[in-house]
Structure 1
Amino acid sequence: MVYTNLDVWVEARKLTNVLYTITKQFPKEEIYGLTNQMRRCAVSVPSNIAEGCGRQTTKETIHFLHIARGSLFELETQCYLALDQKYLNEKEFEELVGLIQSCKRLLNGFINYYKKMQA
């Protein structure tokens, strides 16, 4: 299975690129704070999907997919915090949360696929 062909990986990559574009407008004093943290979470999602696909066992793959899912939840919370601080406007917030929800759905489906293989 080539991970770069997976819808979940493609969508996670899209999320990461949109987030990078949006966070370029965050205050410069946040570059080592919320900006950096949000970018690291976003990068973690496709990276852990890729790493999971490179693992030898289904159990290891599922483990890394769960890490990717955790990063999505962490990023979602950070989007709320950025909205609270007025670093994101409503439109940007909705776009990011929509992409996060899409990634969650795809990732949950991918995890369930691997869990069925494990059974």
Structure 2
Amino acid sequence: MINLNHKQLNVYKKSVELVSEIYRLTENYPKAETFGLTSQMRRAAVSIPSNLSEGASRKSEKDRKRFYRISRSSLVELDTQLEISINLNYLNNNNTKKVEKLANEVFAMLSNMI
């Protein structure tokens, strides 16, 4: 892997941790959700650190912030999918505490960067 500056950012580290937690949580989703909610949640989660990384590599502040906003939007999308998962009883408030904590921290950090 390339040793890049964005990998030292706490927001990057926490967003990568969030991705791992989402993969762990969605492991036991019903098979019927493999190409539905499971895939959607995983893609939204991966999009968070991916867009953060891409933004960090941009030279102009305007361009960087655009990618940080996309990253934050993916986090909001993921939050909606978590809520749907709870409503469908795929998850409950007990097994989402770590994800909620990480999501709130990442949201705050991204908002501060924007």
TM range, normalised to the smaller chain? over 0.9
Q: Which amino acid is the alignment partner of residue 98 of structure 2?
A: E
Structure 1: distance between partners of 2:11 and 2:93:
25
Q: Which amino acid is the alignment partner of residue 68 of structure 2?
A: L
Please, what TM-score do these two structures have when normalized by structure 2?
0.93
Farther-moved stretch of structure 1 (92-101 vs 6-15): 92-101
Q: Mapping of 1:15-34 within 5 angstroms? A: 15-34=18-37
Q: Which amino acid is the alignment partner of residue 87 of structure 1?
A: Y
Structure 2: distance between partners of 1:51 and 1:44:
10
Farther-moved stretch of structure 1 (91-100 vs 21-30): 91-100
- Runs of 4+ aligned structure 1 residues displaced above 6 Å come to none
Q: Which amino acid is the alignment partner of residue 30 of structure 1?
A: E
2:52 matched to 1:49?
Answer: yes
- Displacement of 1:109 after TM fit? 1.5
- Displacement of 1:98 after TM fit? 1.8
Residue number in structure 2 paired with 1:116: none
Q: Which amino acid is the alignment partner of residue 102 of structure 2?
A: L
Please, what TM-score do these two structures have when normalized by structure 1?
0.89
Other structure's SS at 2:58 match: coil
2:114 matched to 1:103?
Answer: no
- Displacement of 1:91 after TM fit? 1.3
Size of the aligned set, in residue pairs, is 111
Q: Mapping of 1:1-119 within 5 angstroms? A: 2-111=5-114
Percent identity between the aligned chains? 36
- Displacement of 1:25 after TM fit? 0.7
Q: Which amino acid is the alignment partner of residue 57 of structure 1?
A: S
Q: Which has the higher helix share?
A: 1
Structure 1: distance between partners of 2:102 and 2:5:
22
